[in-house]
Structure 1
Amino acid sequence: MPLPGACLNIMEARHKQKGYGSISNPERFFNQDFKNLKQYCLIKGVRYLDDMFPPDAKSIGQGILKPSELAHVMWLRPAQIAPDAEFVVDGYSRFDFGQGVLGNCWFLASIGALTFQNHIFQQVVPLDQKIKENYCGIFHFRFWRFGRWVDVVIDDKLPTINGRLIFVHSKDPNEFWPALLEKAYAKVCGSYTDMTSGTPSEAMMDFTGGVHVCVQLSDTSSDVWGLICRAGKSNTLMGCGTPQGETSANTVLPNGLVQGHAYTVTGVKELISQGKVVKLIRLWNPWGKGEWVGDWSDRSPMWDTVSSQDRQMCLSVADDGEFWMAIEDFCKFYTDLDICGLKPDFIDGKSSAQWKTSVYEGRWVAGTTAGGCINNRDTFWTNPQYRIKVVGENSETNGEKNILVSLMQKPDKRNRRLVQNLHIGFAVYLVTEDYKTQSGKFPAMFFNTHLPVARSDKYMNAREVIEFLMLKPGEYLIVPSTFRPNETASFILTIHSREETCCYENSNANEQKYEPVEKVTKVKNHQDEENKKTFFRQYSDKYEEVDAEQLQRVLNENILKGDMKSGGFSLDACRSMVALMDTSITGKLNSEEFVRLWNKVTKYKETFFLTDVSKTGTLSLSELRNAFVASGMKVADDMLSLMALRYGASSGHMTLECFISLMIRLDCMKKIFKQLSDGKSINLKESEWMYVSMYT
């Protein structure tokens, strides 16, 4: 059984601190260790079979093949397909492969771009893998997935019909790196079907973990040519797409281009034609065939207007899917250009800049940290907040942009096709003098009296939103959000800066300051204590103790009678309270323990009704935040979200019973930590940990 998500999150945070998830120490996808699995198979003399992505119809997915075709699918290893099978034959290039029946041109176009960058290619595709030497049918590849690198293990069984590969296939029938790379990415996506439809930027980011820029070619203000030229001189991957036609079919137009199709940008060149400078861009179709037939295509007479030297250098008359076209035609017939580089240098050509990068993982949770865009003035402040201090004399030199902000949403679904991107964006605020001493989250009043100095162009239902900004030296607040409030999702905020900057999350509970909330105070009354003990004896047994069932009756029928909107405390909730208050470990409460519990219940009941300003008899999650303040407890955003999920109803509200159970447990857990820790951490034996956790 998998570990609970809360435990996994702690493990991930610790691993990240130790460098786990970096390109040099990638995370094991599905916890599969390539070296150990390969060693086991070699020792046992068996061929590896991946039970996490088995060779069956589920891994292919629904919708690609007809049932009659699925019935004829055979999963074969490379040596069963080609007798002289090799992982790589005579190096690797974009001309090695062609697209199969799967609609993943976006992925294959990205592979085409990847083949130009040897260092990046070999990070993704380890070339020390062989099909003949030390072979046992296991391979691995590396991808960047939402903030961390993962090592993905697969077996080498590939889907075929009549002995031919169904999906990507190599021009050389003995070469199998493209098909195995595609299978590894299909495993990451959930199935082969889950790779259908996408943009090159998605795969290019997963190959590099770098900086992505998308240019809308209809935007005439963009210096597309300059950007492509700069990118061509950097370690970048470039892809582009044509507009979708009336249907989702990839229709070939009379000009040779395919509608709704992804292409790779493979080169740029300036030539002299008839005394004028001509700017050409070279593109590649991942089908491995099918080319542009307009000006500067393979057989265009325009090539007769350039020097023989340029013609010989650039022109290749072959139906290999690659062709040249003028930059004007490119901007006319393509909709967007995606560029992905390891660093932001290519954006403005300032390669001398030493870019600094800060990465934060966060989460919007409905009711607690999902406040929506600035239109939602009462809740916008509840969104995660990040504070950045821009320093350095060159921070605003010559009006150059100096900060690149990327906001990427993380999927919560295993299968890529089920992911529904939310509309996301961010706003940047200058921290004015009167707020520079403010610690913790900035309140609603700040956002209601200050305008953003920068923001994302618009809220988009895209995987990533990027903006290149010019920020003067000073302190700023970056607030990422969904467009609508109460939408739950995880995200990664990446801040690239030219100069040294100080960045940190602005939601630390230990530094949190909220607008004043009246606190509940209680004066101890000895007569009241005695009255409670007298009342207790009416329900206790002959040993003057009450168990969980008796406590349930006391709470529901007497102490909280008429205050509860639901059915009262459950037996399980009462068992939990008994365990938390039981100092003698008898499974029952004596009179002293009972009175302490009664006092807590009364205190938290008063807190509940004090902060229930809506008078609904339940707490909204913003009211819950104030309830913690009124109780004198500091709770960070991630913990608030976690408790809302654990104790709140599906409506996002919390009943009195659930609130009391939560507060009693939280108070107890804090005291346990204080008593057993050195102030920073706890060191327990397994028996001690089990002793504490299984009863409390």
Structure 2
Amino acid sequence: MTFQAFKENFEEVYITSLNPHTLNKEALEHLYTLADVVTHVLHHPEEKRQQQQDKLTRRKLWEVVKYDGSWVRKVTAGGAPNDLRLFSSNPQYLLHLKEADDEAMEGGTCTVVISLTQKHRRVNNLPLLQVAVSVYQMEDGEAVTTPLHVSWFRLNRPLLLTKFVRTRTVTRRLHLPPGRYIIIPCTHSPDQEGDFLLRVFCQKSATMKEHDESPMLVDTHLEMGDKVDSRSTREESSSSCIQKDDFLAAAGEDGRMTAAILQNILNFLFSGELEFSLDLTRSLLAMMDRNFSGNVDFYEFDTLVCCLRRWMAVYKRKSEAETGLISGSVWGLGDALRELGYLLPRRLQALLVVRFGDQEGNISLRDFIMATCRISVMLDRFQKHCSDGMDTAAICLSEWLQDALYC
């Protein structure tokens, strides 16, 4: 094929290497044609075998750490560092280089190859995004927030910010002293959605993890215990909440309410604020129903009403004035959940936006109530299966199905 014909049939060329080595001048000198290799092997078989063994012995073994991630509109697609407030919402990864390379001098550096690859663009017939990688260094012993907030980025400049290129893979080789580094993959513009694979190759062992909050339910007594809210919220709700005698009159003979009756009561109490569907009511009932009976008593109902008023109050404070909806961003949905005592990594916040958000990444009050209910139920039930202070739990399949289905 002539070069002219090649240009007419192809637009891009990708050169793939099986390892982070580059073809430097020394390597180029050892490139042979197939005929040269065959001739040399036929005339000097033992010499060639020994050369291959020596080559395998000298070959470096590279360590690789990798993460699959996503840029999600309004949550983790913050764009370029032109706007640091948005940029800080991008996925953050903490890389810890513990040991310098063997051939490095005293106080030497670590060879690091960072590779960012866009996923699923070609198979879904989507155009490639302009992407880049930013690297920041953290001081030894520096206490920082998890994840890093905009205030930290305003005080620290990046060690590296690659050019924004519309290509499938961005790769950069660095020589960094041992220490801690923050790696941030980003798109050129905010709210550009896509999946990516981030890989870091090192000659020595290194660790990398998401620099984000761990899922946690704090101040659980505010949601599920006896003291469910502050005095002001209790007084606010008492004026429109039904009394125990009225509850018992509407409930069944056993003094408990089913989902259908509870739906009517909630629609009466929150008339003009929110219309409760039967599906939402069933989820709220499951949140309060500790013994899986399918109904609630007066005290569980009273706790539920106070929780709902607190959730609605937070939603109204965090919703945007123009739309009346809460944004899926860190300062919207993330701050609202944090104020309610739910700490979720941005990866899970992005999942909430995918599940409950609209096309613009906003969440309505009804969907916010449903999402908060699901989070509360799953975190509360998870804590029943795990030991104190542990983030893992041992649970059998039947128990897991029970918790997942009844929520």
Q: 1:470 aligns with which of 175, 187, 190?
A: 175
Shift of 1:539: 4.5
Number of residues of Structure 1 aligned to a counterpart in Structure 2 = 364
In structure 2, what is the equivalent of residue 365 of structure 1? 72
Contact 1:374/1:380, CA 8 A, preserved across alignment: yes
The percentage of counterpart residues that share the same residue type is 23
Note the residue ranges of structure 1 that are not aligned, 5 or more in a row: 1-97, 107-195, 214-225, 234-266, 269-281, 284-309, 314-350, 513-519
Contact 1:381/1:447, CA 8 A, preserved across alignment: yes
SS at match of 1:382: coil
Task: Give the TM-score taking structure 1 as reference length.
Answer: 0.46
Note the residue ranges of structure 2 that are not aligned, 5 or more in a row: 40-57, 218-227
Shift of 1:427: 0.8
Q: 1:385 to 1:525 in 2, by over 3 A?
A: closer
Indicate yes or no: 2:140 matched with 1:430: no
Q: 2:360 aligns with which of 646, 651, 666?
A: 651
Give the counterpart letter for 1:631 in structure 2: L
Q: 1:479 aligns with which of 175, 179, 184?
A: 184
Q: Provide Cα deviations, 1:175-203, integer angstroms capped at 9, x if missing partner.
A: xxxxxxxxxxxxxxxxxxxxx9575537x
Contact 2:229/2:307, CA 8 A, preserved across alignment: no
Indicate yes or no: 2:207 matched with 1:505: no
In structure 1, what is the equivalent of residue 24 of structure 2? 227
Give the counterpart letter for 1:227 in structure 2: N
In structure 2, what is the equivalent of residue 628 of structure 1? 337
Q: 1:691 to 1:467 in 2, by over 3 A?
A: closer
Q: 1:647 to 1:615 in 2, by over 3 A?
A: same
In structure 2, what is the equivalent of residue 299 of structure 1? none
In structure 2, what is the equivalent of residue 442 of structure 1? 148
Q: 1:694 to 1:390 in 2, by over 3 A?
A: closer
In structure 1, what is the equivalent of residue 198 of structure 2? 493
Q: Which fold has the larger relative contact order, with Cα–Cα distance below 8 Å and residues 6 or more apart in sequence?
A: 2
Shift of 1:535: 5.0
SS at match of 1:201: coil
SS at match of 1:408: strand
In structure 2, what is the equivalent of residue 695 of structure 1? 406
CA distance in 2, matches of 1:614, 1:470: 48
Indicate yes or no: 2:255 matched with 1:548: no
CA distance in 1, matches of 2:129, 2:192: 8
Q: 1:407 aligns with which of 102, 116, 138?
A: 116
Shift of 1:407: 0.7
Q: 1:534 to 1:661 in 2, by over 3 A?
A: farther
Q: 1:541 to 1:503 in 2, by over 3 A?
A: closer
Contact 2:136/2:159, CA 8 A, preserved across alignment: yes
In structure 2, what is the equivalent of residue 640 of structure 1? 349
CA distance in 2, matches of 1:483, 1:694: 41
Q: 1:661 aligns with which of 370, 395, 403?
A: 370
Larger radius of gyration: 1
Q: 1:201 aligns with which of 1, 11, 14?
A: 14
Indicate yes or no: 2:407 matched with 1:594: no
In structure 1, what is the equivalent of residue 50 of structure 2? none
Query: What does residue range 82-93 of structure 1 map to in structure 2 within 5 Å?
Result: none
Shift of 1:647: 1.8
Contact 1:376/1:485, CA 8 A, preserved across alignment: no
Task: Give the TM-score taking structure 2 as reference length.
Answer: 0.75
CA distance in 1, matches of 2:94, 2:294: 48
Q: Provide Cα deviations, 1:575-605, integer angstroms capped at 9, x if missing partner.
A: 2222332345443333222212112111211
Q: 1:684 aligns with which of 396, 399, 405?
A: 396
Indicate yes or no: 2:233 matched with 1:420: no
Q: 1:542 to 1:436 in 2, by over 3 A?
A: same
Contact 1:439/1:511, CA 8 A, preserved across alignment: no
In structure 2, what is the equivalent of residue 454 of structure 1? 160
CA distance in 1, matches of 2:343, 2:164: 32
Q: 1:389 to 1:417 in 2, by over 3 A?
A: closer
Shift of 1:551: 2.9
Contact 1:429/1:452, CA 8 A, preserved across alignment: yes
Q: 1:660 to 1:356 in 2, by over 3 A?
A: same
